Amino acid sequence: MDLKTYLQRINLEDCAPPSLAALRELHSHHVHSVPTESLSIHSGEKIILDISWIYNKIVVRRRGGFCYENNGLFLWVLQQLGYQTQVLSGRVKNQITSIYGPLFDHMILLVVLEGRRWLCDVGFGEGFVEPFPLEAGWEEEQDSGVYRLRVDGDEWYMERKEEELWMSLFKFTLEERTFEDFREMCEYHQTDSSSFFVRKSFCSIKLPHGRLTYIGHRLISTEHIQGGGSVKTTQELTEEEIPGLLRDKFGSVLNGKLIPKDD
């Protein structure tokens, strides 16, 4: 595992010592370079919650991953660079049922820097692009949308503005966790029929002011609108087109045959 090779993977030549500017650059480059995806689950590859295995998949093989992989790798990077980090557990909101997932449903990072606390999350497909201040009521527009943090008791809610409405993405507490705490849910999310990652084969990458997402037999282009909201266009795909599209648009070449799924 080599830090310089990771930096090359996210299109950075070098990295400055810990600072807010350096953290923003790292975070932004990661989400613009490494997809959030579930392709392993649909191509016969077991995901292992081990940093060396994740490094090989994302950095050496130039693939993406879901939150445990992306944020797990980013945690290792931040620790190697000397940042003060903590691991938090999030629970993602199902936008259809409005029910939040269980404990350890989503992995989030917290960085203490320059007298403030910052949320880092490079593993949530439609999340923020740059580190977000951990401050109740903080509202900020980034090029992926308008976000705010709302607090109710000991629970924090990350919300994104859609038109004039605030939509909750996930909630979390500030109780410190460890990377290993997510092992059981990592297994669940790649095996259980109710898991979003099992139900849908997808790959999504951040673009300037937008996002490109493959899911099932569709390619969805999203353009973010200033002030909140987005415009989406969809292209239908044949099964034969998908491997080439994943290679050309996302840089993802799979070891096994992909079985597209969108339940």
What is residue 222's predicted lDDT score, i.e. its pLDDT?
93
Separation of alpha carbons 162 and 225, rounded Å = 10
**Residue 126 confidence (pLDDT):** 86
Strand order in the sheet with 132-133: 132-133, 116-120, 106-113, 84-92, 165-172, 155-162, 145-152, 139-142
Residue 144's pLDDT is what? 85
Return the minimum-mean-pLDDT range out of 97-101, 189-193, 223-227: 223-227
Q: What does the pLDDT read at residue 137?
A: 95
Q: For 49-106, what is each residue's pLDDT tens digit?
A: 999 999 999 999 999 999 999 999 999 999 999 999 999 999 999 988 999 999 999 9
pLDDT band of residue 43 (cuts 50, 70, 90) is very high
What pLDDT does 212 receive?
Answer: 97
Measured CA distances, 37 to 23, 58, 76, 87 (Å): 23, 11, 20, 21
140 vs 244: CA distance, rounded Å: 37
CATH class of the domain defined by 3-250: alpha beta
The confidence score (pLDDT) of residue 95 equals 85
The DSSP result for 15-72, as a single string, is -PSS-HHHHHHHHHHHHHHS-EE-GGGGTT------HHHHHIIIIIS---B-HHHHHH
pLDDT score, position 180: 97
Q: What is the mean pLDDT of the chain?
A: 96
Q: How many CA atoms lie within 13 A of 26 on its CB side?
A: 30
What is residue 90's predicted lDDT score, i.e. its pLDDT?
Answer: 98
For the packed helices 67-81 and 20-33, what is the interaxial angle rounded to 10 degrees? 150
Task: State the pTM of this model.
Answer: 0.96
Check whether 215 has a pLDDT greater than 90.
yes
Summarised one tens digit per residue, pLDDT across range 125-182 is: 889 999 999 999 999 999 888 999 999 999 999 999 988 899 999 999 999 999 999 9
